[in-house]
């Protein structure tokens, strides 16, 4: 989804620019609704969102990026996009526009970074996106953990990773026996939909005996963080690497447990990271169990059969690319959309401000990734990727690339302005000599209008300027 062209804030004035920014939020919303499969009944406003078209030269760090690497990641997304049916493209305008961009990408076949950059600049328009009234979005990081495990429980391996249960229904529901009716002899037995088991119930063994265990880990903290990351590599005793990926979750909302450590003044806000959470849970196993259970969400996995050299599979169904793939809010954005993200991030160490200026591709999603300028940066697998991901919680600027088939600048020019509001003169309250009370100006105006409406013709309202 993205667009660019000329900057709106010209000499015409900031008021006009602000009006166009508001319209663009409505315009994007209509496509987001269509992309999510919702019925389109006019534009839908994305809450707290603003867009600002840019020139390519206005994007800091754009010219210095490795566009060939970004192009290769974009081509991965094009594989499923190009398999989309005409009906899918018609129902989801942004998907359809990306389909055309992917067709151009297949034909372009850039041989170097310069040619890849030329492809993006000729096929997309850049637009800065941010929460309404703000200049920055927000980024976090994620990775694929590598942990020790076993296929069979025992010898300290007693923390199971589960596959999806058959009784887990859409929306995190399950059927449960129930009685209906009132009065003696009128009750009937049946089943009703109820929320699925939460984390505490599952950890206490409600699924035991259902043969859902894929493997077993030693550390419940490893299990917890595998759930958060959505994929995991389990190294077995024979050296084989078992590759697991997210399959489903129990329907309960994800709760970030770090906030509880901050609220209890256990970890200062500025020091919060995944490493600090892990350290505290390991040092305090009983309290750690209670903390984990505050997040009732529980993830179920599937075996992927991926080779050791292959990356985890994202929600788009393709292998992720470290330092190029991002997870976004799938209700607002379409997989395959390019975003140029820039910020100064703690990559080298906890206090560093390493410049990060990269073209990223939306290929994944996550329960905590909510909002138009919100992304989870994928850093790969292993401990080093985990350390970098764990300290990532920073503001960053987002530039989204709209395929040329979507032109919000032209669409904004055709949008009619709202009707001019009538100017209502202020009326002071007048004293009522009989009642000794002030008279409400609404009543005065209503009575006056009834008396004068027949005598005084009302002027016709002027038509709004198109």
Q: Per-residue confidence of the chain (466 residues) as pLDDT tens digits?
A: 333 333 233 333 333 444 445 444 444 444 444 444 333 333 334 557 788 999 999 999 999 999 999 999 999 999 999 999 999 888 888 999 999 999 999 999 999 999 999 999 999 999 999 988 899 999 999 999 999 999 999 999 999 999 999 999 999 999 987 655 555 555 666 688 999 999 999 999 999 999 999 999 999 999 999 999 999 999 999 999 999 999 999 999 999 999 999 999 999 998 898 999 999 999 999 999 999 999 999 999 999 999 999 999 999 999 999 999 999 999 999 999 999 999 999 999 988 999 999 999 999 998 889 999 999 999 999 999 999 999 999 999 999 999 999 876 554 455 455 556 666 655 454 445 444 444 444 444 444 444 444 444 444 433 333 3
Q: Residue 372 and residue 339: Cα distance in Å, rounded?
A: 11
Assess if residue 176 is contained within a domain.
yes
Assess if residue 320 is contained within a domain.
no
Residue 188 tokens, joined: 């009937």
Contact (CB, 8 A) for 129 and 411: no
Contact (CB, 8 A) for 252 and 195: yes
CATH number at 224 reads 2.40.240.50
Assess if residue 367 is contained within a domain.
no
Contact (CB, 8 A) for 50 and 64: no
Residue 187 tokens, joined: 């009750």
Does the pTM exceed 0.85? no
Assess if residue 331 is contained within a domain.
no
Q: Residue 367 and residue 145: Cα distance in Å, rounded?
A: 18
Assess if residue 148 is contained within a domain.
yes
- In the chain, how many domains are there? 1
Assess if residue 196 is contained within a domain.
yes
Q: Residue 256 and residue 367: Cα distance in Å, rounded?
A: 10
Residue count of the chain, please give it.
Answer: 466
Assess if residue 104 is contained within a domain.
no
Residue 274 tokens, joined: 């995944």
Assess if residue 187 is contained within a domain.
yes
What range defines the domain where residue 212 resides?
142-303
């Amino acid at each position: 989804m993205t667009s660019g062209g000329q900057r709106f804030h010209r000499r015409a004035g900031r008021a006009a620019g602000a009006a166009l920014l508001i319209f663009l939020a409505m315009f994007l919303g209509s496509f987001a609704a269509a992309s999510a499969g919702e019925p389109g009944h006019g534009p839908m406003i994305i809450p707290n969102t603003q867009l600002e078209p840019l020139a390519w030269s206005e994007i800091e760090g754009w010219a210095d990026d490795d566009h060939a690497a970004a192009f290769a990641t974009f081509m991965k997304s094009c594989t499923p996009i190009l398999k989309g049916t005409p009906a899918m493209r018609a129902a989801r305008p942004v998907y359809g526009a990306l389909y055309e961009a992917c067709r151009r990408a297949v034909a372009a076949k850039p041989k170097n970074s310069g040619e890849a950059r030329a492809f993006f600049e000729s096929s997309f328009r850049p637009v800065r996106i941010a929460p309404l009234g703000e200049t920055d979005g927000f980024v976090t990081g994620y990775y694929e953990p590598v942990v020790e495990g076993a296929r069979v429980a025992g010898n300290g391996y007693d923390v199971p990773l589960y596959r999806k249960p058959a009784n887990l229904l859409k929306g995190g529901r399950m059927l449960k026996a129930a009685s209906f009716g009132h009065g003696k002899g009128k009750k009937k037995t049946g089943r009703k939909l109820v929320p699925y088991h939460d984390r505490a119930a599952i950890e206490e063994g409600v699924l035991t005996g259902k043969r859902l265990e894929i493997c077993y880990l030693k550390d419940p903290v490893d299990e917890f963080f595998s759930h958060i990351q959505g994929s995991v590599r389990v190294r077995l005793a024979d050296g084989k690497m078992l590759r697991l990926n997210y399959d489903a979750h129990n329907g309960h909302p994800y709760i970030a447990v770090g906030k509880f450590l901050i609220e209890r003044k256990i970890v200062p806000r500025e020091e919060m990271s995944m490493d600090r959470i892990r350290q505290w849970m390991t040092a305090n196993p009983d309290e750690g169990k209670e903390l984990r259970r505050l997040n009732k969400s529980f993830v179920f996995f599937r075996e992927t059969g991926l080779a050791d050299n292959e990356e985890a599979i994202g929600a788009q169904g393709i292998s992720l690319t470290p330092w190029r793939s991002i997870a976004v809010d799938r209700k607002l954005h379409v997989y395959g959309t390019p975003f140029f993200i820039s910020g100064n991030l703690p990559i080298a160490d906890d206090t560093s401000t390493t410049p990060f200026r990269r073209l990223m591709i939306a290929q994944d999603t996550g329960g905590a990734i909510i909002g138009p300028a919100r992304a989870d940066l994928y850093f790969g697998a292993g401990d080093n990727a985990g350390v970098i991901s764990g300290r990532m919680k920073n503001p960053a600027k987002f530039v989204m690339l709209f395929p040329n088939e979507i032109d919000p600048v032209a669409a904004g020019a055709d949008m009619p302005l709202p009707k001019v509001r009538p100017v209502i003169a202020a009326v002071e309250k007048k004293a009522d000599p009989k009642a000794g009370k002030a008279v409400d100006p609404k009543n005065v105006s209503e009575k006056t209008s009834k008396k004068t409406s027949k005598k005084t013709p009302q002027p016709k309202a002027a038509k709004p300027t198109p």
